[in-house]
Amino acid sequence: MRRELSPDQAALVAEVDAVLDALPAGAGPQEAFRRLGAARLLAVHFPVEYGGRGLDLAHHAAASERIGLRGLPDVAQLITVQGVGCAILAFGTEAQRRRWLPEIASGRLLASLLLSEAGAGSDLTRVETTGTADGDGWLVSGRKTWSLLTDLSAIALCSARTRRSESRYDGISLFLVDLSAPGVRVEPVARASGEPYYTVTLDRVRVGPEAVLGEPHRGWALLPTVIGFERGGFDYLTRARAWRDAAAAELAALPDSEREVLAADFVRREFAVENARAVAYHAVATADGLELDETVTAYAKLGTGLAAQSLVRWAAEELLAVPGADGPGGSRSVLRAAVAEAPELTVSGGAQELQLDLIAGEFAIGRTIR
Protein backbone atom coordinates (compact mmCIF):
# COMPACT_ATOMS: atom_id res chain seq x y z
CA MET A 1 0.00 0.00 0.00
CA ARG A 2 1.44 3.37 -0.97
CA ARG A 3 0.13 6.48 0.74
CA GLU A 4 -0.16 9.58 -1.44
CA LEU A 5 -0.42 13.04 0.08
CA SER A 6 -3.56 15.09 -0.52
CA PRO A 7 -3.10 18.18 -2.76
CA ASP A 8 -3.14 20.44 0.32
CA GLN A 9 -0.56 18.31 2.09
CA ALA A 10 1.61 18.22 -1.04
CA ALA A 11 1.39 22.03 -1.21
CA LEU A 12 2.64 22.27 2.39
CA VAL A 13 5.52 19.95 1.58
CA ALA A 14 6.42 22.19 -1.38
CA GLU A 15 6.43 25.19 1.00
CA VAL A 16 8.80 23.36 3.35
CA ASP A 17 11.10 22.62 0.41
CA ALA A 18 11.00 26.25 -0.74
CA VAL A 19 12.02 27.52 2.73
CA LEU A 20 14.82 24.96 3.08
CA ASP A 21 16.05 25.48 -0.49
CA ALA A 22 16.41 29.21 0.24
CA LEU A 23 18.60 28.67 3.33
CA PRO A 24 22.00 30.34 3.06
CA ALA A 25 24.94 27.94 2.70
CA GLY A 26 26.19 26.77 6.07
CA ALA A 27 22.96 27.56 7.96
CA GLY A 28 22.45 25.15 10.85
CA PRO A 29 19.27 23.42 12.07
CA GLN A 30 18.34 26.24 14.43
CA GLU A 31 18.30 28.78 11.60
CA ALA A 32 16.26 26.31 9.53
CA PHE A 33 13.72 25.89 12.34
CA ARG A 34 13.43 29.68 12.77
CA ARG A 35 12.74 30.15 9.07
CA LEU A 36 10.22 27.32 9.01
CA GLY A 37 8.63 28.85 12.10
CA ALA A 38 8.47 32.30 10.52
CA ALA A 39 6.65 30.69 7.57
CA ARG A 40 4.26 28.97 10.07
CA LEU A 41 5.33 25.54 8.90
CA LEU A 42 6.56 24.02 12.17
CA ALA A 43 3.20 23.68 13.87
CA VAL A 44 0.53 24.01 11.19
CA HIS A 45 -1.98 22.30 13.52
CA PHE A 46 -1.68 25.01 16.18
CA PRO A 47 -4.41 27.67 16.02
CA VAL A 48 -3.47 30.82 14.11
CA GLU A 49 -3.28 32.93 17.31
CA TYR A 50 -0.53 30.63 18.63
CA GLY A 51 1.60 30.69 15.48
CA GLY A 52 0.04 27.85 13.52
CA ARG A 53 -2.36 27.65 10.59
CA GLY A 54 -5.31 25.94 12.26
CA LEU A 55 -4.89 22.79 10.12
CA ASP A 56 -5.31 19.19 11.29
CA LEU A 57 -2.78 16.68 12.54
CA ALA A 58 -2.49 14.92 9.17
CA HIS A 59 -1.26 18.16 7.59
CA HIS A 60 1.23 18.58 10.39
CA ALA A 61 2.42 15.00 9.81
CA ALA A 62 3.05 15.73 6.12
CA ALA A 63 5.08 18.88 6.87
CA SER A 64 6.91 17.23 9.75
CA GLU A 65 7.78 14.14 7.70
CA ARG A 66 9.26 16.38 5.00
CA ILE A 67 11.31 18.35 7.53
CA GLY A 68 12.78 15.05 8.77
CA LEU A 69 13.40 13.77 5.24
CA ARG A 70 15.32 16.95 4.44
CA GLY A 71 17.80 15.92 7.14
CA LEU A 72 16.79 18.24 9.97
CA PRO A 73 16.76 16.61 13.40
CA ASP A 74 13.15 15.44 13.51
CA VAL A 75 13.30 15.00 17.27
CA ALA A 76 12.95 18.78 17.51
CA GLN A 77 9.53 18.55 15.90
CA LEU A 78 8.58 15.41 17.71
CA ILE A 79 9.56 16.48 21.19
CA THR A 80 9.13 20.26 21.18
CA VAL A 81 6.14 20.79 18.90
CA GLN A 82 4.36 17.51 19.47
CA GLY A 83 5.33 16.32 22.91
CA VAL A 84 5.47 19.58 24.82
CA GLY A 85 3.59 21.93 22.47
CA CYS A 86 0.54 19.73 21.96
CA ALA A 87 0.36 18.97 25.67
CA ILE A 88 0.24 22.73 26.40
CA LEU A 89 -2.30 23.26 23.63
CA ALA A 90 -4.53 20.46 24.88
CA PHE A 91 -4.24 20.92 28.64
CA GLY A 92 -2.56 24.26 29.35
CA THR A 93 -4.17 27.34 30.81
CA GLU A 94 -4.71 30.27 28.49
CA ALA A 95 -1.72 31.97 30.15
CA GLN A 96 0.50 28.93 29.49
CA ARG A 97 -0.64 28.75 25.87
CA ARG A 98 0.07 32.41 25.24
CA ARG A 99 3.39 32.21 27.05
CA TRP A 100 4.81 29.16 25.28
CA LEU A 101 3.03 28.19 22.05
CA PRO A 102 3.98 31.16 19.83
CA GLU A 103 7.62 30.68 20.90
CA ILE A 104 7.48 26.96 20.08
CA ALA A 105 5.71 27.49 16.74
CA SER A 106 8.27 30.14 15.76
CA GLY A 107 11.16 27.69 16.12
CA ARG A 108 12.86 30.01 18.63
CA LEU A 109 12.25 27.82 21.66
CA LEU A 110 13.06 24.15 22.05
CA ALA A 111 11.58 22.07 24.85
CA SER A 112 12.43 18.59 26.04
CA LEU A 113 10.67 15.72 27.76
CA LEU A 114 11.77 14.54 31.20
CA LEU A 115 9.67 11.43 31.64
CA SER A 116 12.04 8.42 31.63
CA GLU A 117 14.07 7.36 34.65
CA ALA A 118 16.38 4.42 35.33
CA GLY A 119 13.43 2.34 36.58
CA ALA A 120 10.63 4.06 34.68
CA GLY A 121 10.70 3.83 30.88
CA SER A 122 7.89 1.94 29.22
CA ASP A 123 6.05 2.00 32.53
CA LEU A 124 5.94 5.68 33.42
CA THR A 125 3.93 5.05 36.60
CA ARG A 126 7.19 3.94 38.22
CA VAL A 127 8.35 7.55 38.40
CA GLU A 128 10.57 8.13 41.46
CA THR A 129 11.13 11.86 40.98
CA THR A 130 9.16 13.65 43.66
CA GLY A 131 7.35 16.96 43.88
CA THR A 132 7.03 18.05 47.51
CA ALA A 133 4.54 20.78 48.39
CA ASP A 134 6.29 24.08 49.12
CA GLY A 135 3.94 27.02 49.76
CA ASP A 136 1.84 27.47 46.64
CA GLY A 137 4.27 25.36 44.58
CA TRP A 138 6.52 22.29 44.74
CA LEU A 139 10.16 21.32 45.11
CA VAL A 140 11.04 18.78 42.42
CA SER A 141 13.87 16.29 43.02
CA GLY A 142 14.98 13.26 41.01
CA ARG A 143 17.04 11.95 38.10
CA LYS A 144 15.71 11.78 34.55
CA THR A 145 17.34 9.72 31.80
CA TRP A 146 17.44 9.41 27.99
CA SER A 147 16.29 12.96 27.40
CA LEU A 148 16.96 14.41 23.95
CA LEU A 149 17.56 18.07 22.98
CA THR A 150 18.01 19.04 26.61
CA ASP A 151 21.16 21.12 26.15
CA LEU A 152 19.34 23.30 23.59
CA SER A 153 16.05 23.48 25.46
CA ALA A 154 14.79 26.33 27.61
CA ILE A 155 12.04 24.33 29.31
CA ALA A 156 11.10 20.68 29.84
CA LEU A 157 7.92 18.83 30.62
CA CYS A 158 8.79 16.78 33.67
CA SER A 159 6.77 14.11 35.47
CA ALA A 160 6.96 13.79 39.26
CA ARG A 161 5.10 11.93 41.97
CA THR A 162 3.37 14.51 44.10
CA ARG A 163 1.38 12.15 46.31
CA ARG A 164 1.34 8.45 47.17
CA SER A 165 -1.92 6.74 46.58
CA GLU A 166 -3.38 3.22 46.28
CA SER A 167 -3.56 3.58 42.52
CA ARG A 168 -0.17 4.00 40.82
CA TYR A 169 -1.92 6.11 38.16
CA ASP A 170 -2.91 8.70 40.72
CA GLY A 171 -0.50 11.24 42.21
CA ILE A 172 1.64 11.99 39.13
CA SER A 173 1.94 15.68 38.18
CA LEU A 174 3.40 17.23 35.06
CA PHE A 175 5.47 20.40 35.45
CA LEU A 176 6.90 22.83 32.92
CA VAL A 177 10.37 23.22 34.39
CA ASP A 178 12.73 26.10 33.55
CA LEU A 179 15.98 24.30 32.70
CA SER A 180 18.06 27.29 33.80
CA ALA A 181 16.52 27.22 37.31
CA PRO A 182 18.78 26.63 40.33
CA GLY A 183 19.09 22.90 41.08
CA VAL A 184 18.93 21.64 37.44
CA ARG A 185 22.01 19.78 36.15
CA VAL A 186 22.14 18.53 32.52
CA GLU A 187 24.83 15.98 31.58
CA PRO A 188 25.42 14.39 28.17
CA VAL A 189 25.56 10.59 27.72
CA ALA A 190 27.70 9.13 24.92
CA ARG A 191 25.70 7.46 22.15
CA ALA A 192 26.89 5.33 19.21
CA SER A 193 24.86 7.27 16.64
CA GLY A 194 22.23 10.00 16.45
CA GLU A 195 21.40 12.90 18.76
CA PRO A 196 23.08 12.75 22.19
CA TYR A 197 21.06 11.78 25.26
CA TYR A 198 21.12 13.75 28.49
CA THR A 199 20.73 12.81 32.12
CA VAL A 200 19.03 15.54 34.10
CA THR A 201 19.34 15.80 37.86
CA LEU A 202 16.81 17.95 39.68
CA ASP A 203 17.71 18.97 43.21
CA ARG A 204 14.85 20.74 45.02
CA VAL A 205 13.95 22.70 41.90
CA ARG A 206 11.25 25.17 42.81
CA VAL A 207 8.21 25.29 40.51
CA GLY A 208 5.22 27.56 41.08
CA PRO A 209 1.53 26.90 40.40
CA GLU A 210 1.90 28.43 36.91
CA ALA A 211 4.20 25.50 35.99
CA VAL A 212 1.63 22.72 36.52
CA LEU A 213 0.15 21.31 33.34
CA GLY A 214 -3.43 20.21 33.87
CA GLU A 215 -4.50 19.35 37.40
CA PRO A 216 -1.94 18.48 40.07
CA HIS A 217 -1.76 14.69 40.74
CA ARG A 218 -3.70 13.88 37.57
CA GLY A 219 -0.90 13.99 35.03
CA TRP A 220 -1.20 10.34 34.02
CA ALA A 221 -4.30 11.02 31.94
CA LEU A 222 -2.35 13.59 29.90
CA LEU A 223 0.53 11.33 28.90
CA PRO A 224 -1.12 9.60 25.91
CA THR A 225 -1.38 13.02 24.23
CA VAL A 226 2.21 13.91 25.17
CA ILE A 227 3.64 10.78 23.56
CA GLY A 228 0.80 10.03 21.13
CA PHE A 229 2.32 11.48 17.98
CA GLU A 230 5.70 9.90 18.79
CA ARG A 231 3.83 6.62 18.76
CA GLY A 232 2.75 7.39 15.18
CA GLY A 233 6.30 6.51 14.15
CA PHE A 234 6.90 9.48 11.84
CA ASP A 235 10.49 9.89 13.01
CA TYR A 236 11.08 6.21 12.34
CA LEU A 237 9.69 6.67 8.83
CA THR A 238 12.07 9.46 7.98
CA ARG A 239 14.94 7.24 9.11
CA ALA A 240 13.55 4.21 7.28
CA ARG A 241 13.21 6.17 4.05
CA ALA A 242 16.75 7.57 4.30
CA TRP A 243 18.06 4.06 5.01
CA ARG A 244 16.05 2.69 2.09
CA ASP A 245 17.63 5.29 -0.24
CA ALA A 246 21.09 4.32 1.01
CA ALA A 247 20.33 0.61 0.44
CA ALA A 248 19.02 1.40 -3.06
CA ALA A 249 22.28 3.23 -3.86
CA GLU A 250 24.34 0.27 -2.64
CA LEU A 251 22.20 -2.12 -4.65
CA ALA A 252 22.56 -0.02 -7.79
CA ALA A 253 26.34 -0.19 -7.45
CA LEU A 254 26.38 -4.02 -7.56
CA PRO A 255 27.11 -5.99 -10.75
CA ASP A 256 23.89 -6.91 -12.67
CA SER A 257 23.98 -10.58 -11.70
CA GLU A 258 24.20 -9.85 -7.93
CA ARG A 259 21.66 -7.03 -8.10
CA GLU A 260 19.06 -9.23 -9.76
CA VAL A 261 19.37 -11.82 -6.99
CA LEU A 262 18.81 -9.22 -4.24
CA ALA A 263 16.27 -6.93 -5.92
CA ALA A 264 13.13 -8.83 -4.86
CA ASP A 265 14.25 -8.93 -1.20
CA PHE A 266 14.85 -5.20 -1.29
CA VAL A 267 11.46 -4.42 -2.82
CA ARG A 268 9.73 -6.57 -0.18
CA ARG A 269 11.32 -4.49 2.57
CA GLU A 270 10.58 -1.26 0.73
CA PHE A 271 6.89 -2.26 0.62
CA ALA A 272 6.94 -2.98 4.35
CA VAL A 273 8.15 0.59 4.98
CA GLU A 274 5.44 2.03 2.68
CA ASN A 275 2.76 -0.11 4.35
CA ALA A 276 3.85 1.08 7.77
CA ARG A 277 3.77 4.66 6.50
CA ALA A 278 0.16 4.17 5.41
CA VAL A 279 -0.73 3.00 8.94
CA ALA A 280 1.05 6.03 10.43
CA TYR A 281 -0.99 8.37 8.21
CA HIS A 282 -4.13 6.43 9.11
CA ALA A 283 -3.35 7.10 12.77
CA VAL A 284 -3.20 10.87 12.27
CA ALA A 285 -6.14 10.94 9.84
CA THR A 286 -8.37 9.22 12.43
CA ALA A 287 -7.22 11.40 15.34
CA ASP A 288 -9.90 13.15 17.31
CA GLY A 289 -8.38 16.64 17.36
CA LEU A 290 -5.00 16.08 19.02
CA GLU A 291 -5.99 12.71 20.48
CA LEU A 292 -4.77 9.66 18.60
CA ASP A 293 -6.25 6.21 18.93
CA GLU A 294 -3.82 4.28 21.20
CA THR A 295 -4.27 1.00 19.37
CA VAL A 296 -3.76 2.41 15.88
CA THR A 297 -0.65 4.29 17.02
CA ALA A 298 0.67 1.13 18.69
CA TYR A 299 0.35 -0.60 15.31
CA ALA A 300 2.00 2.35 13.58
CA LYS A 301 4.89 2.40 16.02
CA LEU A 302 5.47 -1.33 15.82
CA GLY A 303 5.04 -1.38 12.04
CA THR A 304 7.37 1.51 11.29
CA GLY A 305 10.01 0.36 13.78
CA LEU A 306 10.02 -3.26 12.66
CA ALA A 307 9.99 -2.37 8.94
CA ALA A 308 12.96 -0.04 9.41
CA GLN A 309 14.85 -2.64 11.46
CA SER A 310 14.18 -5.39 8.91
CA LEU A 311 15.51 -3.18 6.11
CA VAL A 312 18.68 -2.35 8.04
CA ARG A 313 19.31 -5.95 9.11
CA TRP A 314 18.97 -7.09 5.51
CA ALA A 315 21.20 -4.29 4.22
CA ALA A 316 23.87 -5.13 6.81
CA GLU A 317 23.85 -8.83 5.92
CA GLU A 318 23.56 -8.56 2.14
CA LEU A 319 25.05 -5.20 1.18
CA LEU A 320 27.55 -4.15 3.85
CA ALA A 321 28.98 -7.70 3.85
CA VAL A 322 30.18 -7.10 0.28
CA PRO A 323 33.55 -5.28 0.47
CA GLY A 324 33.48 -1.84 -1.07
CA ALA A 325 34.19 1.82 -0.51
CA ASP A 326 31.68 4.51 0.44
CA GLY A 327 30.06 6.04 -2.67
CA PRO A 328 29.67 9.78 -3.27
CA GLY A 329 26.37 9.94 -1.31
CA GLY A 330 27.97 8.16 1.66
CA SER A 331 25.45 5.30 1.53
CA ARG A 332 27.74 2.88 3.39
CA SER A 333 28.26 5.33 6.23
CA VAL A 334 24.50 5.93 6.41
CA LEU A 335 23.85 2.19 6.65
CA ARG A 336 26.60 1.64 9.23
CA ALA A 337 25.10 4.37 11.42
CA ALA A 338 21.69 2.76 10.88
CA VAL A 339 22.97 -0.55 12.26
CA ALA A 340 23.77 1.25 15.52
CA GLU A 341 20.52 3.25 15.63
CA ALA A 342 17.91 0.74 14.44
CA PRO A 343 17.65 -1.31 17.68
CA GLU A 344 16.37 1.80 19.48
CA LEU A 345 13.29 1.85 17.28
CA THR A 346 11.55 -0.85 19.26
CA VAL A 347 12.50 0.75 22.60
CA SER A 348 11.98 4.53 22.42
CA GLY A 349 8.56 5.88 23.38
CA GLY A 350 7.75 2.57 25.14
CA ALA A 351 9.21 -0.85 24.28
CA GLN A 352 7.57 -3.06 21.68
CA GLU A 353 6.09 -5.29 24.39
CA LEU A 354 4.15 -2.26 25.62
CA GLN A 355 2.74 -1.68 22.13
CA LEU A 356 1.78 -5.35 21.91
CA ASP A 357 0.13 -5.11 25.34
CA LEU A 358 -1.85 -2.06 24.19
CA ILE A 359 -3.06 -3.88 21.09
CA ALA A 360 -3.84 -7.06 22.99
CA GLY A 361 -5.65 -5.09 25.70
CA GLU A 362 -7.95 -3.45 23.18
CA PHE A 363 -8.82 -6.72 21.54
CA ALA A 364 -9.39 -8.39 24.89
CA ILE A 365 -12.23 -5.99 25.62
CA GLY A 366 -13.60 -6.42 22.12
CA ARG A 367 -13.36 -2.83 20.91
CA THR A 368 -13.26 -2.28 17.17
CA ILE A 369 -10.47 0.05 16.08
CA ARG A 370 -11.28 3.02 13.88
Ligand X SMILES: Cc1cc2nc3c(=O)[nH]c(=O)nc-3n(C[C@H](O)[C@H](O)[C@H](O)COP(=O)(O)OP(=O)(O)OC[C@H]3O[C@@H](n4cnc5c(N)ncnc54)[C@H](O)[C@@H]3O)c2cc1C
In the complex, what is the shortest distance from the CB of residue 112 to ligand X, in angstroms, rounded to a whole number? 6
| CA-based nearest residue to 126, from 354, 298, 355, 360 | 354
Binding of residue 113 to ligand X (CB under 6 A): yes
Q: Per-residue DSSP letters for 200-226?
A: EEEEEEEE-GGGEESSTTBGGGGHHHH
For 360, residues 6+ apart whose C-beta sits below 8 A from its C-beta are none
Binding of residue 128 to ligand X (CB under 6 A): no
User: Site residues for ligand X, window 163-192 (CB under 6 A)?
Assistant: none
Q: Which is nearer to ligand X, 147 or 162 (CB)?
A: 147
C-alpha 254/C-alpha 323 separation (Å) is: 11
Binding of residue 160 to ligand X (CB under 6 A): no
Q: Which amino acid is at 349?
A: G
Binding of residue 131 to ligand X (CB under 6 A): no
The interface region with ligand X, picked from 44-52, 143-151, 310-318, 325-333 by CB under 6 A, is 143-151
Binding of residue 125 to ligand X (CB under 6 A): no
Q: Per-residue DSSP letters for 220-278?
A: GGGHHHHHHTGGGTHHHHHHHHHHHHHHHHHHHTS-HHHHHHHHHHHHHHHHHHHHHHH
Q: Per-residue DSSP letters for 300-323?
A: HHHHHHHHHHHHHHHIIIIITTS-
Binding of residue 91 to ligand X (CB under 6 A): no
In the complex, what is the shortest distance from the CB of residue 90 to ligand X, in angstroms, rounded to a whole number? 18
Which residues lie across from 142 on neighbouring strands?
Answer: 202
User: Site residues for ligand X, window 300-319 (CB under 6 A)?
Assistant: none
Binding of residue 121 to ligand X (CB under 6 A): yes
Q: Which is nearer to ligand X, 6 or 193 (CB)?
A: 193
Binding of residue 228 to ligand X (CB under 6 A): no
Binding of residue 115 to ligand X (CB under 6 A): yes
User: Site residues for ligand X, window 28-87 (CB under 6 A)?
Assistant: 79
Q: Binding residues for ligand X, per CB under 6 A?
A: 79, 112-116, 121-122, 146-148, 344, 347-351, 353-354, 357
